[in-house]
């Protein structure tokens, strides 16, 4: 995974991966079909770190949504803009569904909290589906901008700012 943070994706070879992991090329091909599968494993690790950090949270629903977005953005930022550029590259060119998969834990978790926020009166005037769609758009758009700008701003701070703007018109003042 660290190779993708220091070298462009297309420059990373199977030999580079094997050398960094101290394994033979034969061992590599025993476990992986190609370097895309190695990348996919790295992306799954990102999801695992997010899930570990997001469990056992007891914020009110709207604050919980912002917390989930923040920790996911922090986990993403730690992977680095080069690693995330591979994700976007695979999404666009190879129809890999890393970013847009609606079953991703981050999207499911935010949706559950949106439903709770509407049920307790903390949000009104919209729908959980529509707000989730807007949140996902700002997360993806900000990620894209962060990658294109080579990580020159704080991804968690910017996504947090944008998420607050999306939620503001729906907040009722209830916790």
Give the pLDDT mean for 102-114: 90
Comparing 53 with 148, the larger pLDDT belongs to 148
Q: Residue 35 pLDDT > 60, yes or no?
A: yes
Model confidence at 94: pLDDT above 70: no
Neighbour count for residue 116 (Cβ, 10 Å): 17
Letter string b/e over residues 11-24, b meaning 16 or more CB atoms within 10 A of that residue's CB: ebeeeebbeeeeee
- Is 38:17 a contact under the CB 8 Å cutoff? yes
Question: Model-level pTM?
Answer: 0.81
Q: What is the mean pLDDT of the chain?
A: 87
pLDDT at 33 over 80: yes
Measured distance CA(78)–CA(76) in Å, rounded = 5
Long-range contacts of 50-59 (CB under 8 A, 24+ apart): 50/75, 50/105, 50/106, 51/105, 54/105, 54/109
Q: Are 172 and 121 in contact (CB under 8 A)?
A: yes
């Amino acid at each position: 995974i660290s190779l993708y943070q220091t070298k462009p994706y297309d420059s990373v070879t199977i030999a580079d991966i094997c050398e960094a992991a101290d394994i033979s090329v034969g061992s590599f091909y025993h476990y992986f079909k190609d370097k895309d599968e190695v990348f996919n494993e790295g992306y799954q690790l990102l999801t695992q770190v997010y899930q570990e950090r997001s469990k056992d949270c007891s914020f009110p629903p709207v604050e919980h949504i912002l917390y989930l977005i923040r920790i996911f953005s922090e986990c993403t930022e730690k992977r680095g803009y080069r690693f995330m550029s591979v994700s976007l590259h695979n999404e666009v060119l190879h129809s890999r569904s890393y970013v847009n998969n609606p079953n991703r834990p981050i999207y499911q978790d935010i949706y559950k909290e949106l439903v709770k926020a509407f049920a307790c009166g903390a949000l009104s005037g919209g729908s959980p589906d529509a707000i989730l769609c807007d949140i996902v758009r700002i997360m993806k758009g900000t990620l894209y901008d962060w990658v294109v700008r080579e990580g020159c701003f704080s991804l968690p701070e910017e996504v947090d700012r944008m998420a607050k703007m999306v939620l503001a018109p729906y907040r009722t003042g209830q916790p």
